Structure 1
Amino acid sequence: MKLVCSQAELNASLQLVSRAVATRPTHPVLANVLLTADAGTGRLSLTGFDLSLGIQTSLPAAVETSGAITLPAKMFGEIVARLATDSPISLSCPEGEEQLELTNLSGSYRMRGMPADDYPDLPLAQSGTPIRFHAEALVKGLRATLFASSPDENKQLLTGVHLRLDGEGLECAATDGHRLAVQRLSHAVEAAASPEAEASTADGADFAVTVPARSLRELERILSGRGSQEPLSLFCERGQVVVLSADQVLTSRSLDGTYPNYRQLIPPSFQRRLVLDRRAFIAALERVAVLADQHNNVVKISADPAAGTATIRADAQDVGSGSESLAATIEGEAIEIAFNVRYLLDGLKAMGSDQVVLQCNAATTPAVLAPVGADEAFTYLVMPVQIRTS
């Protein structure tokens, strides 16, 4: 393998694929990145794969000799990042050898790698007709739901985001058992360009997959950083999800099992509604959270219809207490309901509207936060905290 490429492009590509390199590899080669140079296409491909998440990207290169090798991701990445940015990088590895020489205006380095044949194949299931998503819409759906997935590996299915496609569009949902975020996207899927694709999209009424949040965070990062408006292609089969986006590929296992029927958790109607200014609500919660964090993260919200105010209060035993009042449009009777303040803030920050509505029936039943006007396709359900009365 022998080639010359841009330091900036190689560095950016390494930063990307290194996110899929195992931090605690079960085999030494999994701590490496795979480099594959192709003289025919004039491109250098880089791959990171930890057997669960895989990321592959490519960059233009002047390839004199094709070849492949794997190199330690951390060391290779740190060397490339520190090289002179105004000088191209030359990579050379004689056929049959496992040592690569890197040359740049800054200097020359030799690194011992491992054979490319030792590297596991990236699962690239690409049979059938892909579902083509608009990247901007998918990013919106992921940003609105990823935060609500569970970090608890014992709740394996809840560590992912559920993607469901039906005749009305795409629905993204995530829950950790205490809160639920659902984003409905009516224009996420590109219109079918052929009868075959149209038939596939029609079949998509039954399409549903749960993908690990870690994989989708990387996908969201990739899509947010790209300049292209081209739709991306998603393939799903045999427990694998593959997303193709321009010169980049992300592959991930899917999570086995039947995702909870989250729709039945959302109450069909509400007896109480509080409409508040979203930014003022966030600011008040963040101030009161200083005290809530000292104890149990619990804040109490009291609605007073007669005064047209909502009072937010936190009591930290042996530390102190604090409260703030906000103007609110209130429908229904007075109520006091308690929440984990972090759950409320996460949901409010995922919304983009000026006003939000907090809807509930009782202090012990699920409450729903939703934006007013801007994006009524977003629903955020939070389970209240039981208030102990002494």
Structure 2
Amino acid sequence: MKFNTLSSALNTSLSLVTRAVPSKPTHPILGNILLTASSEVQQVRLTAFDLTLGIETSFEAQVDTPGSITLPAKLLTNIISHLPDCEISLEIGQDFSDNQESDEGDKNPTFIATITSESGRYQIRGMDAQEFPQLPAIEGGTQITVPAFALKEGLSGTLFATSDNETKQVLCGVHLTLENDTIEFASTDGHRLAMIKTSNHVEPNLEVITDPNEDQNEGSTNDLSNDYNDTVSDLKFEVTVPTKALQELEKLLGNTASDTEVTLLVKDDQVLFQGNSTLTTRTLSGQYPAYQQLIPKQFNRQMNVSRLQFLAAVERVAVMASQKSNIIKLDLDSENQQLTLSIDAADVGSSLEVLPVQLSGESLSIAFNVKYLKEAIKAIPASEVKVQLNSNTSPVVLSPVVLSQNIMAASMLLMPVQIQGEQPTKVPPKEPPLPQSKTKNSARKKEPKPELAAV
């Protein structure tokens, strides 16, 4: 195998696929990257796979001799990242002088990759490409084509609220629902909920792909002879994808044009995302919570505030927060149309900020986990935020005042923290209170996180 390319092209591709290389591989080959050079398309494909998450990407190269090899990911990345932006060549040779004999008495060759730049030469020992595990082949299943902007908007507004508790595995990812011309993203860790619904301006290509090994009967649900409207209206697609895989997908989409089409292919416990690069991973099994039931239908208080001003005030006040006192108190003053944010940390000190707001309804004092509040405000895709609430013990919903062009709905639900000494406000009869943790506003005791009832 031999090819020439720019060091910057190889370095960019390596930075994408190395995210699927395990830090502690269970087998030496998993610590390598598979390089496959094709003279037909004049491209080199890079593949990394940790047996759960796989990433593939390609770059243009002048391929003189096609072939494949696996090279140590860390060493190869370190070499290429330190080279100047110049043309390099990579050539694979075999060395029979220092290797072990096979069971048949033949010597197994050692593969040597020689990287030549304008000022130096580097040699790396590689392993046979045949030893590298193949990515799962997804034949048949459900295929969906969606624009990159929908994935970008949905992931940026929900990934922060996923759980890292492996005992509730289905919560360790984002739940995707595609129906008609919308895609809904939802995540919850049991203490908060994030939901983003994006539009799909690119005509959804949603179809059931037939596995050639499966028998086809007349009247089968896999019959694609129906028109587009029947196909979309009859098929609601849902899947839960692990957080780590979607975090890597978000990075892969970072430099992708918003109107680029991304193909999702799902069958059994595997899902594949294919755009400029390809990512494959296992799905999360289990029934995802009925999160829509957690969002109140009506509210008796609403506060409108600038998102940037709100976020900046929370961040300034949060400098006083500590692990033992991470609660921020919000005092909504209806008479003066202002919001007071404060933190009282006995072991550190106290902080207070006042913001002008538009408030309808009676005054109220309420408290939150400062980290949860800050992340929810950051995730709102708008310049102005509306905070809707009923009492200081019932769920609070943050959402945009004005929706952006591609966003059809956005809600960030938080459970407040009840501080001892504060009298709970009355909850409207149609909104039954969810279980609430009572805590003491003390620096000596860490406040437990409030939990959502149905999660």
Q: Is the 8 A contact 1:367 1:383 kept in 2?
A: yes
Q: Is the 8 A contact 1:314 1:323 kept in 2?
A: yes
Name the counterpart of 2:145: 132
Residue in structure 1 matching 2:156, options 143, 159, 172: 143
Q: Is the 8 A contact 1:148 1:174 kept in 2?
A: yes
Q: State the alpha-carbon separation in 2 of the partners of residues 228 and 260 from structure 1.
A: 30
Q: From the superposition, tell whether residues 304 and 269 of structure 1 become closer, same or farther in structure 2 (CA, over 3 Å).
A: same
Q: From the superposition, tell whether residues 21 and 188 of structure 1 become closer, same or farther in structure 2 (CA, over 3 Å).
A: farther
Q: Is the 8 A contact 2:110 2:125 kept in 1?
A: no
Q: State the alpha-carbon separation in 2 of the partners of residues 226 and 168 from structure 1.
A: 21
When normalised by structure 1's length, the TM-score is: 0.93
Corresponding residue SS for 1:58:
strand
Aligned residues, how many? 388
Identical counterparts, % of pairs:
43
Asked if residue 339 in structure 1 is aligned to residue 368 in structure 2, the reply is yes
Residue in structure 2 matching 1:275, options 294, 304, 308: 304
Superposed, 1:166-181 pairs within 5 Å as 166-181=179-194
Q: Is the 8 A contact 1:170 1:188 kept in 2?
A: no
Pairwise CA distance, 1:41: 2.4
Asked if residue 184 in structure 1 is aligned to residue 197 in structure 2, the reply is yes
Q: Is the 8 A contact 2:148 2:258 kept in 1?
A: no
Q: State the alpha-carbon separation in 2 of the partners of residues 176 and 240 from structure 1.
A: 23
Q: Is the 8 A contact 2:142 2:267 kept in 1?
A: no
When normalised by structure 2's length, the TM-score is: 0.81
Pairwise CA distance, 1:192: 4.3
Q: Could you report, residue by residue, the CA deviation over 1:277-333 in whole angstroms, capped at 9, with x for unpaired residues?
A: 222211211111111236421111111212222211111013222222222222222
Q: From the superposition, tell whether residues 126 and 250 of structure 1 become closer, same or farther in structure 2 (CA, over 3 Å).
A: farther
Name the counterpart of 1:25: 25
Pairwise CA distance, 1:227: 4.1
Q: State the alpha-carbon separation in 1 of the partners of residues 260 and 235 from structure 2.
A: 21
Q: State the alpha-carbon separation in 2 of the partners of residues 197 and 143 from structure 1.
A: 34
Q: From the superposition, tell whether residues 313 and 200 of structure 1 become closer, same or farther in structure 2 (CA, over 3 Å).
A: same
Counterpart of 1:201, as a letter, is: V
Asked if residue 202 in structure 1 is aligned to residue 215 in structure 2, the reply is no
Counterpart of 1:239, as a letter, is: D
Pairwise CA distance, 1:129: 5.7
Name the counterpart of 1:113: 126
Residue in structure 2 matching 1:243, options 273, 281, 286: 273
Q: From the superposition, tell whether residues 71 and 366 of structure 1 become closer, same or farther in structure 2 (CA, over 3 Å).
A: same
Name the counterpart of 1:14: 14
Q: State the alpha-carbon separation in 1 of the partners of residues 296 and 23 from structure 2.
A: 43
Q: State the alpha-carbon separation in 2 of the partners of residues 233 and 142 from structure 1.
A: 16
Q: Mark the runs of 5 or more structure 1 residues left unpaired by the alignment.
A: none
Name the counterpart of 2:285: 256
Higher helix share: 1
Pairwise CA distance, 1:101: 1.7
Q: Is the 8 A contact 2:90 2:113 kept in 1?
A: no
Q: State the alpha-carbon separation in 1 of the partners of residues 82 and 231 from structure 2.
A: 48
Q: From the superposition, tell whether residues 227 and 187 of structure 1 become closer, same or farther in structure 2 (CA, over 3 Å).
A: closer
Q: State the alpha-carbon separation in 1 of the partners of residues 350 and 356 from structure 2.
A: 21
Q: Could you report, residue by residue, the CA deviation over 1:208-251 in whole angstroms, capped at 9, with x for unpaired residues?
A: 101011111111111121247331111001211101103x1110
Counterpart of 1:12, as a letter, is: T
Corresponding residue SS for 2:418:
coil
Q: Which moved more, 1:221-230 or 1:350-359?
A: 221-230
Corresponding residue SS for 1:88:
strand
Q: State the alpha-carbon separation in 2 of the partners of residues 137 and 165 from structure 1.
A: 11
Counterpart of 1:8, as a letter, is: S
Name the counterpart of 1:82: 82
Corresponding residue SS for 2:87:
coil
**What is the CA RMSD across the aligned residues, in angstroms?**
2.1
Name the counterpart of 2:411: 379
Pairwise CA distance, 1:21: 0.5
Q: From the superposition, tell whether residues 366 and 83 of structure 1 become closer, same or farther in structure 2 (CA, over 3 Å).
A: same
Corresponding residue SS for 1:85:
coil
Residue in structure 2 matching 1:301, options 319, 330, 333: 330
Q: Mark the runs of 5 or more structure 2 residues left unpaired by the alignment.
A: 96-108, 207-223, 422-439, 441-455
Q: From the superposition, tell whether residues 17 and 117 of structure 1 become closer, same or farther in structure 2 (CA, over 3 Å).
A: same
Name the counterpart of 1:2: 2
Name the counterpart of 2:383: 354
Counterpart of 2:200, as a letter, is: H
Pairwise CA distance, 1:151: 2.3
Asked if residue 51 in structure 1 is aligned to residue 51 in structure 2, the reply is yes
Counterpart of 2:7, as a letter, is: Q
Of structures 1 and 2, the larger Rg is shown by: 2
Q: Could you report, residue by residue, the CA deviation over 1:164-196 in whole angstroms, capped at 9, with x for unpaired residues?
A: 112351100111111111001122653449966
Q: From the superposition, tell whether residues 319 and 83 of structure 1 become closer, same or farther in structure 2 (CA, over 3 Å).
A: closer
Q: Is the 8 A contact 2:44 2:59 kept in 1?
A: yes
Q: From the superposition, tell whether residues 146 and 341 of structure 1 become closer, same or farther in structure 2 (CA, over 3 Å).
A: same
Counterpart of 1:202, as a letter, is: S
